[in-house]
Amino acid sequence: MTAVPSPVSQSLIPDTPTFVTHLECGMTGERLPADTLHNLSPKGYPILVRYDLAGVKAALSKEKIAARAPNWWRYRELLPVRKTENVVSLGEVMTPILTLPRLASQLGLRGDGEIIVKDEGRLPTGSFKARGLALAVCMAKELGVKKMAMPTNGNAGAALAAYASRAGIETVVFCPDDTPQVNMNEIALQGARLYKVNGLINDCGKLVGAGKEAAGWFDTSTLKEPYRIEGKKTMGLELAEQLGWELPDAIFYPTGGGTGLIGMWKAFEELEAIGFIGSKRPRMIAVQAAGCAPIVRAYQGNERHAKLWENAHTVAAGIRVPAAIGDFLILDAVRNSNGFAVAVEDAAITAALDEVAKQEGFLMCPEGAATYAAYKQALAEGKVKKSDRVVLWNCAAGLKYPMPDGGQPLDRHGSIDYARL
Ligand SMILES: *Cc1c(COP(=O)(O)O)cnc(C)c1O
């Protein structure tokens, strides 16, 4: 076998020491060894990666980070990949934050009140799934995995297929057969074996679980390996840095499996431990669709775990997740931050998408639009203040989703009343 050359210019990836000390069960805190393959913890819960944060604090400064290339490897000391040769890259960027000034003014925001959108649609494969899956694939490469399998609602499968193909790892992906067409096509084009299943994502997950022994797949389901959280954690690191190491008042996050919410919460904890931020935290607000809101129901019922949501349906495919294995981690972050969980109707999602596109020229994905709908609802109900600086998460490029037909026919041979066009 010949060594595959690293696909990226090394200057984009700082070659720093790494600081992972061990892994930990997210529920019991049981200590587990790093540098070996894991799925769930022995007790069946998601695993968290732990670092020598005192070591990171001594090694890293805000200035050092600022001098590095604008991609998530600038936070290398807080990421798990040991060897630079295992970094798999497709040209990641720091995603822009943009404000929605016209809507802010219409909604009567005042003082420091501001609506900020983190636009994750600019990442490779057009969604923030790139963050988590890139790290999962880098670590799979580092730990010698040859085949990865996952259930997906679309974007995760696309990111896995892309990064795994780039790394020379085989992938098998299962998605609900009504997944957005563009997602299914990109997954297959990017080299995965794709199966369209007559069921929902949790049904697809059961197939991965049932087949992994026989087929020799590494189970890459949401939170069933430790490193997707680390990738999603970079959202919190990046946001903090972009806002001058000053966190916002609230973050509205469209919650499916909750990886991003859990990851950002972890990011803030680590940033405080290395002295980059203080103890102020944003209120973490889990946004779900009314047709699939298991976390909202558990939040309202004061439960630590969420029950399976039956007959899940919503236009926001990315958050159609009837059961989340990290439910307790999501709910802990929401509660410990004095946040809340809220559901929005599909009609409100569609109206929000339309409003932001027409008023601000910004095409959100339906899941991102759900956060704007939830924000408006929360503002109207007084659950957030007009002086709050809030961040909405636009997780994917709006162009990846079906859109209503636009435009109208024009007969160039007929008589045209130009004044009325
Ligand atoms: C996966 C996904 C989500 C949900 O993200 P989690 O971190 O898994 O909760 C939201 N929106 C889009 C577009 C997604 O692809």
Per-residue pLDDT of the chain (421 residues; tens, 9 = 90+): 455 555 555 478 999 999 999 999 999 999 999 999 999 999 999 999 999 999 999 999 999 999 999 999 999 999 999 999 999 999 999 999 999 999 999 999 999 999 999 999 999 999 999 999 999 999 999 999 999 999 999 999 999 999 999 999 999 999 999 999 999 999 999 999 999 999 999 999 999 999 999 999 999 999 999 999 999 999 999 999 999 999 999 999 999 999 999 999 999 999 999 999 999 999 999 999 999 999 999 999 999 999 999 999 999 999 999 999 999 999 999 999 999 999 999 999 999 999 999 999 999 999 999 999 999 999 999 999 999 999 999 999 999 998 989 999 999 999 999 999 9
Does the C-beta of 258 come closer than 6 Å to ligand 1? Answer: yes
Does the C-beta of 259 come closer than 6 Å to ligand 1? Answer: yes
Reference 240, options 338, 386, 94; nearest CA is 94
Ligand 1 center from residue 154 Cα (angstroms): 10
pLDDT confidence of residue 10: 47
**HSE value, Cβ hemisphere, 13 Å, CA-based, for 80:** 31
Does the C-beta of 318 come closer than 6 Å to ligand 1? Answer: yes
Ligand 1 center from residue 296 Cα (angstroms): 16
What's the rounded Cα separation, in Å, for the pair 156 and 137? 12
Place of tokens 């290339």: 69
Alpha helices in 67-175 (DSSP H): 101-106, 129-142, 155-167
pTM of the model as a whole: 0.95
Q: Which residue, by CA, sits nearest to atom 10 of ligand 1?
A: 318
What's the rounded Cα separation, in Å, for the pair 164 and 138? 9
Residues 216/147, Cβ–Cβ less than 8 Å: yes
What's the rounded Cα separation, in Å, for the pair 50 and 34? 9
Reference 136, options 94, 165, 164; nearest CA is 164
Q: Which residue, by CA, sits nearest to atom 2 of ligand 1?
A: 318
Which atom of ligand 1 is nearest to 396's Cα? 13
Q: Which residue, by CA, sits nearest to atom 5 of ligand 1?
A: 256
Does the C-beta of 257 come closer than 6 Å to ligand 1? Answer: yes
DSSP sequence for 209-238: HHHHHHHT-EE--TTSSSHHHHHHHHHHHH
Ligand 1 center from residue 318 Cα (angstroms): 5
Break the chain into its structural domains and give their ranges. 97-125+228-397
Q: Which of 120, 395, 400 to mutate to test the pocket of ligand 1 (most atoms within 8 A of CB)?
A: 395
Query: What CATH number has the domain spanning 97-125+228-397?
Result: 3.40.50.1100
The partner residues of 117 in beta bridges, in order of sequence, read 98, 392
Ligand 1 center from residue 319 Cα (angstroms): 6
What's the rounded Cα separation, in Å, for the pair 198 and 245? 46
Q: Which residue, by CA, sits nearest to atom 3 of ligand 1?
A: 318
SS3 category, 345: coil
Does the C-beta of 129 come closer than 6 Å to ligand 1? Answer: yes
Reference 150, options 200, 232, 208, 196; nearest CA is 208
Q: Residue 274 CB: number of other CB atoms within 10 A?
A: 20
Does the C-beta of 155 come closer than 6 Å to ligand 1? Answer: yes
Ligand 1 center from residue 159 Cα (angstroms): 12
Does the C-beta of 136 come closer than 6 Å to ligand 1? Answer: no
Does the C-beta of 395 come closer than 6 Å to ligand 1? Answer: yes
Which atom of ligand 1 is nearest to 365's Cα? 13
Ligand 1 center from residue 314 Cα (angstroms): 13
